[in-house]
Chains A and B, each alone.
Chain A
Amino acid sequence: MKRLLFIFLLIMSSSVYAVDFRQLSDPEQQETYETLTKELRCLVCQNQTIADSNAELAADLRRQVYEMLQQGKSKQEIIQFMTDRYGDFVLYKPPFKGKTSVLWIAPVVFLLMGLITVFFFIRRKKAAANQQTKAGALETDIEKQKKIRSLLGKGDPS
């Protein structure tokens, strides 16, 4: 029981987020704040969002988002503010444009390539298997008869 509790606590402990004390009075703005901090990358610790990170820069960027929302800035304006300064890299969801098109298209292309390969692979296997069963049918029958006979103790007829 103790061990189970320990494991449970261990699992729960992994979901610890940066302490964020900011609260906006307007629930709609609060929601925007929460989504924005989850969509903006912390540039020091590159694989964390600014909501996740305790880095100083992440804290400063959270403050920036908070203040801009308080000033009544829209989500789009804040994203523009961030990309003007840090480039598209600051966004976890990069916009679709010339430079990032490969990023968006590549997974689809790879998936299609995979599906096509699997399709042809299966078709070829099936065709090969069909042919083999036709050619091998006679042979296996003879083999089987032999086995039946030997099992029945009648010996080999040949």
Chain B
Amino acid sequence: MLKFIIPLILFIILAVFLALGLNLKPSEIPSPFINKPAPVFSAPKLNEPEEKLTPADLKGKVWLFNVWASWCVSCRAEHPVLNQLAQQNAVFIVGLNYKDEPNDAKNWLDMLGNPYNVSIMDQDGRIGIDYGVYGVPETFVIDKKGLIRHKHTGPVTAEDVQQTFLPLIARLQAEP
């Protein structure tokens, strides 16, 4: 009897590990930023380079911080979803134009529409490093106190907006 039970148990353990492994996404690295203050930056705005934006300016607002670039193919796929989200006026959207040429970035927004309330420039990628960005697009949700509450790696889909972003934003808007 034992002869059959031991291999069976080993098989089950192996199967469980393999099944878990199938569903893991190694490209999604857990962010160490959840519930931590959004890293400070002071970056020029894309449309008014002489003006700067810092997270302190956004205190009291729930905001999305979306990392994008005109060279980023997945950003193009994500863009219509952001445009739609912007139309709903549910949340203040800040774009981080990551390692991009300002002119390319402006053309891109003219062509595809601009969902961002404001975009800031990070030409040498330093703000990206401070936010632990490793793949564009990435999206952070930041609450009224300036804490990062959610991070999404890769393009945001319409489904993500409905199931994750909008409920979370509604909850955060209700917070004092």
- Chain A 25-54 interface 0/1 with B at a Cβ cutoff of 8 Å (1 = within): 000000000000000000110100000000
A87 pairs with B30, CB closer than 8 A:
yes
With beta carbons under 8 angstroms apart, the residue of B26, B125, B132 that contacts A85 is B132
We find that the number of chain A residues with CB closer than 8 angstroms to chain B is: 14
Q: Are B128 and A43 in contact (CB under 8 A)?
A: no
Give the total number of A-B pairs whose CB atoms are below 8 A apart: 37
Consensus secondary structure, chain A interface: helix
**B29–A86 CB distance below 8 A:** yes
Stretch of A8-16, A55-63, A121-129 contacting B (4+ beta carbons < 8 Å): A55-63
Indicate if the CB atoms of A84 and B32 lie closer than 8 Å: yes
0 or 1 for each of A116-143: is its CB under 8 Å from B? (1 = yes): 0000000000000000000000000000
Q: Are B130 and A85 in contact (CB under 8 A)?
A: yes
Q: Which residue of A lies closest to B33 (CB)?
A: A85
What residues on B are CB-neighbors of A56 within 8 Å?
Answer: 99, 125
The distance from the CB of B29 to the nearest CB of chain A, in whole angstroms, is 5
**Cβ contacts under 8 Å, B134 to chain A:** 43-44, 57, 86
Contacts of B22 in A (CB 8 A): none
In the bound assembly, the distance between CA atoms of A105 and B33 in angstroms comes to 28
Contacts of A46 in B (CB 8 A): 26-27
CB B135 to nearest CB in A, in angstroms, measures 6
Q: Is A83 an interface residue (CB 8 A)?
A: yes
Question: Would A44 and B135 count as touching, CB distance under 8 A?
Answer: yes
Q: CA A86 – CA B135 in complex, angstroms?
A: 12
Chain B contacts for A44, CB-based, 8 A: 134-135
**B128 adjacent to A86 (CB under 8 Å):** no
Q: In the complex, A44 Cα to B29 Cα: how many Å?
A: 11
CA distance A46 to B32 in the complex (A): 17
Q: B47-90: which have CB < 8 Å to A?
A: none
Within 8 Å of chain B (Cβ to Cβ): is A92? no
Q: Are A87 and B29 in contact (CB under 8 A)?
A: yes
Q: A83 CA to B129 CA in the complex, in Å?
A: 11
Chain B residues with Cβ below 8 Å from A60 are 124-126, 128-129
| B residues near A61, Cβ cutoff 8 Å | 129
Report the Cα distance A83→B30, complex, angstroms: 11
A64 is contacted by which of B27, B129, B135 (Cβ under 8 Å)?
Answer: B129
Question: A60 CA to B134 CA in the complex, in Å?
Answer: 11
Q: B31 at the A/B interface (Cβ < 8 Å)?
A: yes
A121 to B153, CA, bound (A): 49
Give 1 or 0 for each of B1-45: 1 = CB within 8 Å of chain A CB.
000000000000000000000000011011111000000000000
Whether the Cβ atoms of A86 and B32 lie closer than 8 Å is: yes
* Interface membership of B131, Cβ < 8 A: yes
What residues of B have a CB within 8 angstroms of the CB of A43 in the complex?
A: 29, 134-135
